[in-house]
Homo-oligomer: A and B are copies of this chain.
């Protein structure tokens, strides 16, 4: 009797399913559009069954950005994202963000822009963070916000804070790479929409990235850098042992 072996040759062109972002100057598109393929694993498994051996090979390949879908297979839904009507789930800061980037709106690939809905509980806070690859232009749709950004070390004589109180209909700019925050100073929920100058803007929540990475930064470094005693550093590391929200 014959024995049939199987070979599963996964040509898995994985795409990072997470935080990649793109600067204000994303490389330009070289065709009308590129509908990003961000879950190639599912679509591209090739299982070869044959009768002499069993091999299971996974090859993960990425490119700068995303692979593109065959344009003959593109559908209108590739350019659509439908879940921006309702607020996201608020985190412990009373804040949520729903990001529409090339990762969940594949038609954005190569086009250098993304969008986010920001929701805030009363006194909710989008804590100090940077977008390593995008400028943000924020429009208040509901609520009153104390917002600000800090210039880099030497601009205009050192770290300068630029703040503004924003009301409904106000638009404010947070330049690329600078630390900024948005604080709902009203006792009612608020929300807004931000445009971001990248297909994948990225976010670095300062407190989480400094005190919460995995593995943690050495206590010695943080104690010296923040001029805190080691116990306070350890307390902070305990608070932020989770990655920041997007």
Contacts and interface: CB of A to CB of B under 8 A. Distances in A.
A24 B115 CA distance: 15
A52 B47 CA distance: 12
A29 B175 contact: yes
B156 A178 contact: no
Contact of A16 (B155, B200, B215): B155
Nearest to A238: B227
Interface core residue of A55, A107, A166 (most chain B CB under 10 Å): A107
B18 A156 contact: yes
Assembly stoichiometry (copies): 6
Contacts of A144: none
Contact of A100 (B18, B52, B171): B171
Contacts of A21: 30-32, 152
B19 A156 contact: yes
Nearest to A162: B76
Contact of A226 (B48, B132, B236): B236
A197 interface: yes
A83 B68 CA distance: 31
A22 B29 CA distance: 6
A71 B112 contact: no
A29 to B, nearest CB: 6
A163 interface: yes
**A interface majority secondary structure:** loop
Interface string A107-134: 1111111110000000001011010111
A46 B84 CA distance: 42
Interface in A65-95: 65-74, 76-77, 79-86, 93
A177 B152 contact: no
A152 B33 CA distance: 10
A207 to B, nearest CB: 5
A243 to B, nearest CB: 3
Given A25-B27, A60-B73, A164-B79, A20 B46 contact: no
A114 to B, nearest CB: 7
A8 B36 CA distance: 25
24 contacts: A23-B176, A25-B112, A26-B30, A31-B64, A44-B59, A48-B50, A50-B52, A61-B68, A64-B68, A80-B164, A81-B172, A83-B169, A85-B169, A125-B224, A127-B221, A133-B177, A151-B213, A158-B213, A158-B214, A159-B214, A178-B204, A183-B218, A195-B195, A207-B227
